[in-house]
Amino acid sequence: MKFAFVFPGQGSQSVGMMNGYADLPIIQETFQEASDILQQDFWAMVSSGPGEDLNLTINTQPLMLIAGVAVYRAWTSLGGSKPALLAGHSLGEYTALVVAEVMNFADALALVRSRAQAMQQAVPEGVGGMAAILGLDDKIIETICRDITNQGNGESLEPANFNSPGQVVIAGHKNAILQGIEMSRSEGAKRAILLPMSIPSHCSLMKPAADNMRLQLERATLQPPKIRILHNVDVKPHADVTSIKEILVQQLVSPVRWVDTIRAFAAEGITHIIECGPGKVLAGLNKRIDQNLQQLSLADSETIKQAVNLK
Cis peptide before 50 (omega within 30 of 0): yes
Known catalytic residue at 238:
no
Amino acid at 238: H
Known catalytic residue at 90:
yes
Q: Which of 202, 231, 238, 272 is catalytic?
A: 202
CB 279 within 8 A of CB 10: no
Of 308, 248, 261, whose CA–CA distance to 97 is shortest? 248
Report the alpha-carbon distance of residue 302 to residue 90 in Å, rounded.
Answer: 27
Q: Which of 12, 90, 201, 254 is catalytic?
A: 90
Report the alpha-carbon distance of residue 239 to residue 245 in Å, rounded.
Answer: 11
CB-based contacts of 237, cutoff 8 Å, min separation 6 = 85, 225, 228, 229, 230, 231
What are residue 40's phi and psi, to 5 degrees?
Answer: -155, 140
Report the alpha-carbon distance of residue 118 to residue 212 in Å, rounded.
Answer: 7
| Backbone CA torsion sign across 6, 8, 122, 136 | positive
Active site residues per annotation: 90, 202
